[in-house]
Chain A
Amino acid sequence: MQGFGLLLRKELRELVRTLRLPVVLVVFALMGLVSPVVARYIREILEAAGGAQFEGVIPDPVAGDAIAQFTRNLGQFGVLIAILVTMGSVAGEKDRGTAAFLLTKPLGRGAFLGAKVVAIGLLLALATALAGVLCWVYTSILFEPLPVAGTIAAIALVWLSLVVFAAITFAASVMGPSTLVAGGIGLAALMTFGALSILPGLAPYLPTGLWSLANELALGQVPDAVLGAVMTSTGVIVAVIGLSWWSFRRQEL
């Protein structure tokens, strides 16, 4: 891992200079803000738009709606952003020749990959935490205060789910022929897990199952089985990152 610190600093500086960090933070912050607001006022909005036909149909909103909206938003747009920021991380550097520039210097290939993984993980962690905090604040204002520990655990699970898709996209970026293919594989993974999650009994063990667990934890409930989805997700992350490293060590640049 020679040069890991140097490469990590370069990755973090790149996130700031290319405006990826501020853009991702703003988008996630909006998702954190909008989710409780939409949940709180959706009935009023629909009644104002649709008139009498919606009166009495939509139940009174509760804090659980805000959290469900939050995890749904991050499960869609958050995953898409995770795929977007990851798809070019290695394939793009190989295309541009900057990987060759770095890797003909005394910098390990493991450090090159490791710095990228850590930087992407930190970016998603920061963005998810910001979104989670804003969601918690607005839910507390518009509904009721949510348990802090449960909310932190929920944010951690949502982050884990994003990292799963980022890791799969990352592996595709390392092993695939181009940035576009890497993005396509990330999207295919999202659709595949989405399709698998409708199979009975399988959902709690999939990365997508983390979102419903996050909902329960944020509301102070104790889910029946947390370990299944966490273990699967962690296993997928470790496996695809390991596979990326194994492949990258042997690659010609």
Chain B
Amino acid sequence: MTPGTPPANAPAADTPAIETRGLTKRFGDVVAVDGLDLSVPRGSIFGFLGPNGAGKTTTLRMLTGLGRPTAGTASVDGVPIDAGGLRLAERIGYLDQDPRFYGWMTGRELLELAGRAYGLDGEPLAARVEQVLETIGLSEAGRRRISGYSGGMRQRLGVGQAIVARPGILFLDEPVSALDPAGRRDVLELIGSLRGSVTIFMSTHILNDVERVCDRIAILDRGRLVTEAPIDELLARHAKPVIEIDPEPGQDAVVGALVERLTEAAWSREVRQRHGLIRVTVSDAEAAAVGVLPIVVASGVRLARFERVRPTLEDVFLQLVGANGAARAAASGSGTTEGAGVTEPDAAADHERSSQRRSE
């Protein structure tokens, strides 16, 4: 195979880059991944979200051939993972969440080793390694031994070794978790620059990063798929509008009354006050648009700012994972109240859809 070109017997362009059906992984009694159904379109940057221990890394390890599913099937670029071996490896690049390489090698030598593994050699390899070193900002450090690299440099080198042979599909496990803000920005820009040319399957629990670069996301919680959709669609579907009211300081009495009135409003779902800022999550956006200003005006509170804010992915994530936690607590009868106050019918619907797909 020539690196950077589609492998022989490459599947049609409209077939998903990654597809799983009922993918399951058990470790003894623990179900790490539970009947996962996913379809990742080609050329997308797919964010795989979940809290720690949700099963993200286990899924990635199965999809890259490092782990074996207990049940279910999956294919990567049309190659079934259980029969993948070298055919699977030719198609993918992989970055571990805590990349460790050979400390005795230089960064340049590691990229050369990775390139040669895919069949690159001679001048094309040298040119490509030079290009990748520049892209990941290690042109100078490429001559030094990896044992002297910082965590961030190792992470960037990890991205470099994953892309050196221009594979069609990249699996990145927490690619920016060890980086400082500048390093994170650089790597995310690098990931963003690959949009359209490769499919990127990226696990993370840093939601801001996902919003910055991903087209679609899936949320996993305790091994189960909670939802999967394009980000905009997900925000539109799940996130409740939020109104922020920022009173000028020194009006404690009237602000307290305002919070009380807002809490009592029929369209108000939740009112939080932190550091003086009032944050109102509404259940009926239209009613709130009509009703909120008269309440504020009537309260006599002087405002520094009044804004209807765009809901964030974090809001959606907490809603969905919280609702899931509440459902689990109820089902197990454990009596825990964590997340029990949050109800989210859409999340339940997503669960149903996921279950239906599995049964199909």
Contact = CB atoms under 8 A, between A and B. Distances in A.
B280 to A, nearest CB: 47
A252 interface: yes
B112 to A, nearest CB: 10
B306 interface: no
Interface bracket on B = 20 to 34
A138 B100 CA distance: 46
Interface in B43-71: 61, 64-68
A103 B66 contact: yes
Given A14-B104, A106-B86, A107-B89, A100 B66 contact: yes
A97 B96 contact: yes
Contacts of A96: 100
Given A97-B100, A104-B94, A10 B68 contact: no
Interface string A79-121: 0000000000000000011101111111110000000000000
Interface string A15-45: 0011000000000000000000000000000
Nearest to B119: A106
A253 interface: yes
A76 interface: no
Contacts of B117: 3, 6, 102, 105-107
A2 interface: yes
A214 B101 CA distance: 42
A14 B113 CA distance: 13
Given A100-B66, A104-B64, A104-B65, A10 B94 contact: no
Contacts of A104: 64-66, 89, 92-94
B307 to A, nearest CB: 46
B250 to A, nearest CB: 56
B78 interface: no
A6 B85 CA distance: 18
Contacts, number: 62
Contacts of B105: 17
Contact of B101 (A3, A101, A105): A101
B101 A106 contact: no
B77 interface: no
28 contacts: A2-B86, A6-B113, A17-B105, A18-B104, A96-B100, A98-B100, A98-B102, A100-B66, A101-B96, A101-B101, A103-B65, A103-B66, A104-B89, A104-B94, A105-B89, A105-B114, A105-B117, A105-B118, A106-B86, A106-B90, A106-B118, A107-B86, A107-B89, A108-B86, A252-B61, A252-B67, A253-B61, A253-B67
Interface of B: 1, 61, 64-68, 85-86, 89-90, 92-94, 96, 98-102, 104-105, 113-114, 116-119, 161
Nearest 5 interchain pairs by C-beta: A105-B117, A104-B94, A17-B104, A106-B89, A252-B67
